[in-house]
């Protein structure tokens, strides 16, 4: 996943409706007094209006509006991206200057249009961050002092007292709006980040892969020194690490062996303090999963509301568990034979491609063995398909128990099976087949079948030759199997070399 997708700006289209509604409500409150004051301009006794200054301010507003309209047209036609931070700040400063022209043009000693500055501050609260709010506050105070300097005939202590009072009031309003809007923006950012994390991690079919990716995305949701995901198996307390992320000189053992963390993990519940966020992600087939965030000191929503952040992330992890477990089950079912529990033909083909490529690159031996039950049709006709299915299952259990971890047993089709034996030569395969033949005879002898009807298997053994295709490899083992059938069954035949077969 491209992690740049999670670097949400303050000026993109992912502003939540909650932010917009709250911001517009604040703007309406801030400008309600302005509307009343503007209506008073129509009453007798109001000083005359300086239409030149009003026109200058109006022209500046028209220019800003034209720029915004033009930008949206280009963005709609996909010629330009959305507004950047610098561009948005310049446009807002232009609006602040326009308000200063209006203020002078209305020729009001008290600054009849001063409330417009609160409108700008409120709108900045919707889309801006703290540096942007501070910059607009400075621009607004400068515009206010400049415009009222032009209006006022006396620049005495009362003028500066009024300016300080206005600057302080505007700063308080800016901080209040910033606190409200930064919380809403932080919560929205967290939701988008968690949804992106879930969508990305749910593509994997194993918990190990999912959490290895999840720990990389958590720092976008909460400032982090390190993030570790581990599974605590029950009943023992061994902890296996699923994923780890850090930009500090920290190793996962430093975190997991911390005495403070050990005490917090006892409750197996979401726990937060100044140092850690601990989120149990639920019980899975591999054990109980925990995600621990070693917090970094920072300001903002995630620092003010760590419990809420932890619950959001915990909910996302539970969704990941559910989706990954379901995908894992579906993947396993799609690659598993339902009767025997062995790999099916599709899984076999994938593994053969991988093993032949590895054998060719590393020049290591690779053997496959094709097995086929003898007299199987007669068994089904005489004792029924239930007995035939039972014999297939018993052979599958026997092969699974006798092969190594790196080997693979698969049901090729019907009563045919195929063994993949990496790093094994023909002698090793022969020893395995002879052992399977002896043990399978003992198993079938325990089944109450007619003495005249024995259940055995024949097999063909093929050694992979460098550069050989998979189809040729399987074909040679299949031909060896048929030869074993023709010459008497209950035996194995070693396949001829590829060059001999081609000749």
Q: Are 313 and 302 in contact (CB under 8 A)?
A: no
> Once rounded to an integer, what is the mean pLDDT over residues 327-337?
77
The residue to which tokens 């002092």 are assigned: 145
Average pLDDT, the chain: 81
What is the arithmetic mean of pLDDT over 403-408?
Answer: 92
| Edge-to-edge strands, sheet with 416-422 | 408-413, 416-422, 366-373, 457-463, 492-494
- Classify the C-alpha dihedral 189-190-194-197 as positive or negative: positive
Check for a shared fold between 202-330 and 345-502.
Answer: no
- Please give the pLDDT value at position 473: 94
Residue 226, phi then psi, degrees to nearest 5: -160, 155
What pLDDT sits at residue 7? 38
Number of CB atoms found within 10 A of residue 65's CB = 12
Active site residue 415: yes
pLDDT in tens, 297-321: 877 788 888 888 888 898 888 888 8
213, 355, 415, 468: which one is catalytic?
A: 415
Superfamily of domain 345-502: Reverse transcriptase/Diguanylate cyclase domain (3.30.70.270)
The predicted-structure confidence for 49-73, as pLDDT tens digits, reads as follows 677 877 888 888 788 778 777 776 7
Burial 107-119 (b: 16+ CB within 10 A, else e): bbeebbbbbbbbb
Compute how many other C-beta atoms are within 10 angstroms of the C-beta atom of residue 326. Answer: 12
State the pairing for strand pair 416-422/408-413: antiparallel
CA dist., res. 130 & res. 124, Å (int): 10
Domain ranges of the chain: 3-188, 202-330, 345-502
Residue 257 CB neighbour total at 10 angstroms: 11
pLDDT above 70 covers what percent of the chain?
81
pLDDT tens for each residue of 278-301: 988 878 777 888 999 999 887 778
Q: What is the DSSP string of 250-289?
A: --HHHHHT-HHHHHHHTT-S-EE-SSEEEEEEEEETTEEE
Superfamily of domain 202-330: GAF domain (3.30.450.40)
Q: Specify whether the CB–CB gap between 425 and 367 falls below 8 A.
A: yes
Give the residue ranges of DSSP H helices in 424-497.
426-445, 470-486
What DSSP string runs through 329-396?
A: HHHHHHTB-TTT-SB-HHHHHHHHHHHHHHHHHHT--EEEEEEEETTHHHHHHHH-HHHHHHHHHHHH
The pLDDT tens digits for 155-188 are 888 888 888 988 898 888 888 888 887 787 788 8
Which of the given ranges, 19-28, 191-200, 323-332, 396-405, has the highest pLDDT on average?
396-405
The 10s digit of each residue's pLDDT in 198-257 is 888 888 888 888 998 999 989 888 889 999 999 886 545 556 888 899 988 888 888 888
């Amino acid at each position: 996943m491209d992690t740049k997708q999670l670097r949400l700006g303050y000026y993109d289209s992912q502003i939540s409706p909650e932010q917009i509604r709250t911001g517009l409500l604040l703007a309406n409150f801030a400008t309600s007094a302005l509307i009343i004051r503007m209506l008073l301009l129509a009453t007798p006794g109001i000083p005359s209006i300086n239409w030149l200054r009003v026109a200058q301010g109006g022209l500046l507003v028209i220019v800003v509006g034209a720029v915004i309209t033009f930008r949206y047209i280009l963005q709609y036609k996909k010629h330009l991206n959305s507004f950047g931070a610098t561009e948005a700040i310049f446009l807002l400063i232009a609006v602040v200057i326009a308000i200063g022209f209006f203020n002078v043009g209305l020729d009001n000693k008290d600054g009849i249009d001063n409330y417009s500055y609160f409108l700008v501050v409120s709108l900045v609260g919707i889309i801006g961050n703290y540096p942007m709010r501070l910059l607009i506050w400075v621009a607004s105070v400068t515009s206010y002092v400049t415009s009222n300097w032009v209006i006022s005939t006396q620049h005495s202590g009362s003028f500066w007292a009024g300016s300080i009072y206005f600057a302080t009031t505007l700063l308080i309003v800016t901080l209040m709006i910033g606190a409200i809007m930064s919380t809403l923006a932080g919560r929205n950012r967290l939701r988008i980040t968690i949804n992106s994390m879930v969508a990305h991690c749910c593509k994997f079919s194993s918990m190990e892969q999912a959490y290895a990716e999840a720990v990389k995305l958590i720092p976008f949701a909460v400032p982090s020194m390190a993030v570790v995901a581990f599974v605590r198996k029950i009943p023992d307390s061994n902890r296996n690490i699923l994923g780890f992320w850090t930009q500090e000189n920290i190793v996962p053992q430093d975190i997991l062996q911390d005495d403070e963390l050990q005490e917090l993990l006892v409750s197996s519940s979401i726990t937060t303090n100044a140092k850690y966020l601990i989120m149990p992600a639920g019980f899975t087939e591999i054990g109980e999963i925990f995600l621990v965030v070693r917090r970094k000191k920072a300001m903002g929503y995630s620092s003010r509301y760590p419990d809420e952040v932890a619950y959001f992330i915990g909910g996302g992890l539970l969704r990941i568990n559910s989706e990954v477990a379901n995908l894992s089950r579906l993947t396993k079912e799609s690659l598993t034979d339902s009767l025997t529990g062995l790999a099916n033909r599709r899984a076999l083909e994938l593994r053969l491609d991988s093993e032949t490529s590895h054998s060719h690159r590393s020049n290591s031996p690779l053997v496959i063995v094709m097995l086929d039950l003898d007299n199987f049709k007669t068994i089904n006709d005489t004792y029924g398909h239930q007995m035939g299915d039972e014999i297939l299952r018993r052979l599958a259990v026997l092969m699974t128990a006798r092969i190594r971890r790196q080997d693979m047993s698969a049901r090729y089709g019907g009563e045919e099976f195929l063994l993949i034996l990496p790093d094994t030569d023909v002698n090793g395969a022969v020893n395995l087949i002879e052992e399977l033949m002896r043990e399978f005879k003992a198993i079938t002898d325990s089944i109450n079948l007619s003495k005249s009807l024995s259940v055995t298997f024949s097999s063909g053994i093929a050694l992979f030759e460098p550069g050989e295709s998979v189809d040729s490899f399987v074909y040679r083992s299949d031909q060896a199997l048929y030869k074993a059938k023709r010459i008497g069954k209950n035996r194995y035949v070693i396949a001829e070399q590829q060059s001999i077969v081609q000749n």
